[in-house]
A and B are shown apart, each in its own frame.
Chain A
Amino acid sequence: MFKGIWLIFRKEMWTAFRERRTLLFLFLFPILVWPSFTVLPVLLIGGREKKAAEETSKVVLVSSVETPELTKLLRTSDRIRLVNVEDPSTAVEEKEADCVLYVDSVSLDSLLIHTRLRYDGTRTESKVATNKVELLLSQYEQRVVNQRLVEEGVDEKLLSAVSSRRENVIADTQMMGYFMGLVIGMFIVMGAIMGAASIIIDSTAGEKERKSLELLLTVPIPRSSIMLGKYLAGVTFAFISPILTALGMSLAASFIIPVFASNTSAGLDLSAVISVEKILMILLIVLIMAAFIVALLMAISVRARSNRQAQTFLAPLNIIVVIPVLFLQIIPAVPPTWMFAIPFLNVMLTLRGLLMDTLPPTAFIFTLASNFVFLALALRSAAKGFGSERVLLK
Chain B
Amino acid sequence: MNQKTVLKVEGLEKSFGKVKALAGISFEARRGELFGLLGPNGAGKTTTVRCICSIVKPDSGSVEVEGISVKKKPLETLKRIGVVLEDGKLYDRLTGEENMKLFAQLHGVQNIDERIDEVCKVLEFEEYRKRKFKKLSKGNKQKVLLGQALVINPTLLILDEPTAGLDVPAQKVIRDLLKKIKRDRTILYSTHIMSYAEELCDRLAIIDHGRIIAKGTVKEICKKARTKNLEDAFLKLVGRHV
Contact = CB atoms under 8 A, between A and B. Distances in A.
Interface of A: 3-4, 7-8, 11, 14-15, 18-19, 210-212, 214-215, 217-222, 389-390, 392-393
Given A7-B105, A218-B54, A218-B83, A212 B93 contact: no
5 contacts: A11-B102, A18-B94, A19-B93, A218-B81, A389-B55
Given A220-B108, A389-B57, A215 B102 contact: no
Contact of B90 (A3, A19, A212): A212
Nearest to B86: A211
Interface stretch (B71-79, B189-197, B210-218, B222-230): B71-79
Contact of B75 (A8, A11, A221, A389): A221
Nearest to A217: B55
Contacts of A212: 88-91
Contacts, number: 68
Contacts of A222: 75
Given A214-B85, A215-B83, A220 B78 contact: yes
A3 B85 CA distance: 25
Nearest to B84: A215
A358 B96 CA distance: 56
A277 B148 CA distance: 49
A222 B74 CA distance: 9
B90 A215 contact: yes
A7 to B, nearest CB: 5
Summarize A's interface: helix, strand, loop or mixed. helix
A-B complex: 6 closest residue pairs judged by Cβ atoms: A220-B78, A219-B106, A18-B93, A210-B89, A220-B75, A220-B79
Interface of B: 16, 50, 53-57, 75-76, 78-79, 81, 83, 85, 87-94, 102-103, 105-108, 148
Contacts of B87: 211
Contacts of B107: 219-220
Given A218-B55, A219-B106, A15 B75 contact: no
B199 to A, nearest CB: 26
A364 to B, nearest CB: 41
A219 B79 CA distance: 7
Contact of A14 (B57, B76, B79, B94): B94
Nearest to B77: A220
Contacts of A220: 75-76, 78-79, 106-108
B89 A7 contact: no
A148 to B, nearest CB: 83
Given A217-B54, A218-B55, A218-B81, 12 more contacts: A11-B91, A15-B94, A19-B93, A211-B89, A214-B85, A215-B89, A218-B83, A219-B78, A220-B76, A220-B79, A221-B106, A389-B55
Contacts of B75: 220-222
B85 A215 contact: yes
Contacts of A8: 106
Given A210-B89, A211-B88, A214-B88, A393 B106 contact: no
Contacts of A211: 85, 87-89
Contact of B53 (A18, A19, A210, A218): A218
A15 B91 contact: yes
A221 B79 CA distance: 9
A15 B55 CA distance: 24
Contacts of B56: 389, 393
A124 B87 CA distance: 62
A222 B79 CA distance: 12
A18 B132 CA distance: 11
A219 B102 CA distance: 10
A390 B21 CA distance: 14
Contacts of A14: 93-94
A290 B93 CA distance: 26
A210 B94 CA distance: 14
A214 B46 CA distance: 12
Contacts of B108: 3, 220
A124 B89 CA distance: 59
A7 B106 contact: yes
Contacts of B57: 389
A4 B106 contact: yes
B105 to A, nearest CB: 5
B169 to A, nearest CB: 24
Contact of B102 (A7, A18, A19, A393): A7
Nearest to B49: A218
B28 to A, nearest CB: 21
Contact of B55 (A3, A210, A393): A393
A164 to B, nearest CB: 66
Contacts of A389: 55-57
A233 to B, nearest CB: 13
A215 B93 contact: no
Q: Which of B53, B54, B102, B106 has the most CB of A within 10 A?
A: B106
A212 B89 CA distance: 5
B81 to A, nearest CB: 7
Contacts of B85: 211, 214-215, 218
A212 B92 CA distance: 10
A14 to B, nearest CB: 7
A7 B112 CA distance: 14
Contacts of A4: 106
B106 A215 contact: no
Nearest to B80: A220
A13 to B, nearest CB: 11
B198 to A, nearest CB: 28
A217 B107 CA distance: 12
Contact of B78 (A7, A11, A218, A390): A218
Nearest to A14: B94
Q: Which of A211, A219, A393 has the most CB of B within 10 A?
A: A219
